[in-house]
Structure 1
């Protein structure tokens, strides 16, 4: 075992000859107690990494599904402090790695040092700060290193090769390749060239590379699992909440069914075709 839950999670998946499953939920959607139970349902379904979106009023990288999730969370009274409380409560029953998917406004308002310290103390493992480019990350990176938090940075299909080294150098947890330009959301078809792009990123880093944005069924998961170290699913999971926002039992049943459908037939396996 290493000193990093994230490192251990990817090592375990690698040992089992499969991709890691990274699941996204917006913290506090549709309310604190339901959100906690949704986290529990995903963990019990076998996810490897929990990506928690920190609700924000202007989530620029998110499509409609995740925008509405943030809106539901904020309207239910979710705050930055309550996100930390949610993490602490998850830590009462699970050691699953937790990554905050956040925006720099929220970090800056608290201060990089204070934000990183509070996140680590609550039990978070990494920060993915969507709109903070590596060129402007010195203070953020120093705070994360000081408090033992990993960093996650995004590579887009439009990222020029000359920036890959800089992005990978700023990353200490895993690199997140977004499979298409634009915002989050379910898609009928996967983007082309994922395998080639992941291979290019791997020329610049020994860290795991995960792929997300638009992954919504087992065929998508299977395709990405053959190319990447991890598969990120967000909107397809969040929609289980959006479709049943006032019925906690229905949400849990939908989440379990969705997880089963996403991973059916050993979709995460590395030798499935």
Structure 2
């Protein structure tokens, strides 16, 4: 059963928006990514969006593409990622966990088997960034059969017809893209037209709306919520922090091993920066005092 309704209800009662960080499972290694995820939760993440490495991530910009490559270079497979998620789920039974994964993966495995594995790991939702809503029926049916929320993207400046289709198909939440392009480019997020899109989606009784792409600062989170979104998702900014610390982690692991104090110190520095980032972004979801 999806954990999103309880989260959004709790946040509405507290007059807060949701902040959801994205991170790549397996980056820079599966074990390190598990510690990274725990830091995001410690910082106050309301939910998680977790990426699975893929060889051709067409919706992602250079920052997240490099995260895909680091995770693939570390040998991270779908099975490895699901094992990480299952352990996180065991420690955080009420936390909504979404997966972002490219459509070729479930298609290659078989849709029923893919969503069954996701459900067994404790995943609440799956977002397929390269599957438009007009091609979603088969994926949605398999997701629903496994008890997984299918999440679809509401593109910027989408037609009313597209917004209606996204509203009808999405469960858990709707991923509203803040601007055209790929993730993590230099262009900032935009809320232009967001209020109208949210109104149209809610007219169709859509799931809560989360704004993503280009969200990297607290002011952007606050702007998204002021424009009518129920929360914000930040990916590239989180991944950049991981990327900045990855060489130090790798050097410590190579020189002294992952059980060494040197590696522990490097990981603690990364975790501290992630906690601080998430705490600042989460604070922006609350009303000004």
**Which TM bucket (shorter chain)?**
over 0.9
| Alignment match, 2:159 | 160
Q: What is the CA deviation profile of residues 179-211 of structure 1, one whole-angstrom value per residue up to 9, with x for unaligned ones?
A: 000011165644133333322322223410110
Q: Aligned equivalents of 2:217 and 2:185: distance in 1?
A: 9
Matched-pair contact (CA < 8 Å) for 2:49–2:99: yes
Which piece of structure 1 moves more, 244-253 or 228-237? 244-253
User: Alpha-carbon deviation of 1:249?
Assistant: 2.5
The answer for unaligned runs of 5 or more in structure 2 is 250-265
User: Alpha-carbon deviation of 1:92?
Assistant: 2.2
| Alignment match, 1:179 | 178
Q: In the alignment, which of 66, 69, 73 is matched to residue 67 of structure 2?
A: 69
Matched-pair contact (CA < 8 Å) for 1:186–1:216: no
Q: What is the CA deviation profile of residues 223-266 of structure 1, one whole-angstrom value per residue up to 9, with x for unaligned ones?
A: 11222111111111111101010242222122012123323xx3
Give the paired residue count. 268
Larger Rg: 2
Which piece of structure 1 moves more, 135-144 or 94-103? 135-144
Matched-pair contact (CA < 8 Å) for 1:187–1:216: no
Matched-pair contact (CA < 8 Å) for 1:125–1:150: yes
| Alignment match, 2:273 | 254
| Alignment match, 2:261 | none
Alignment of 1:75-114 (within 5 A): 75-95=73-93, 96-114=95-113
Matched-pair contact (CA < 8 Å) for 1:5–1:125: yes
Matched-pair contact (CA < 8 Å) for 1:152–1:175: yes
What is the aligned-residue RMSD (CA, Å)? 1.6
Q: Does 1:212 align with 2:212?
A: yes
Q: Aligned equivalents of 2:188 and 2:56: distance in 1?
A: 27
Q: Residue 151 of structure 1: SS of its match in structure 2?
A: strand
TM-score scaled by structure 1?
A: 0.93
Q: Residue 173 of structure 1: SS of its match in structure 2?
A: coil
| Alignment match, 2:19 | 21
Q: Residue 91 of structure 1: SS of its match in structure 2?
A: helix
Q: What is the CA deviation profile of residues 41-62 of structure 1, one whole-angstrom value per residue up to 9, with x for unaligned ones?
A: 1111111110001110100111
Matched-pair contact (CA < 8 Å) for 1:49–1:97: yes
Matched-pair contact (CA < 8 Å) for 2:216–2:234: yes
| Alignment match, 2:263 | none
The answer for unaligned runs of 5 or more in structure 1 is none
TM-score scaled by structure 2?
A: 0.88
Flag the 1:189–1:142 CA change in 2: closer, same or farther, 3 A: closer
Which piece of structure 1 moves more, 215-224 or 179-188? 179-188
| Alignment match, 1:122 | 121
Normalized per residue, the structure richer in helix is: 2
Q: Aligned equivalents of 1:224 and 1:134: distance in 2?
A: 23
| Alignment match, 2:225 | 225
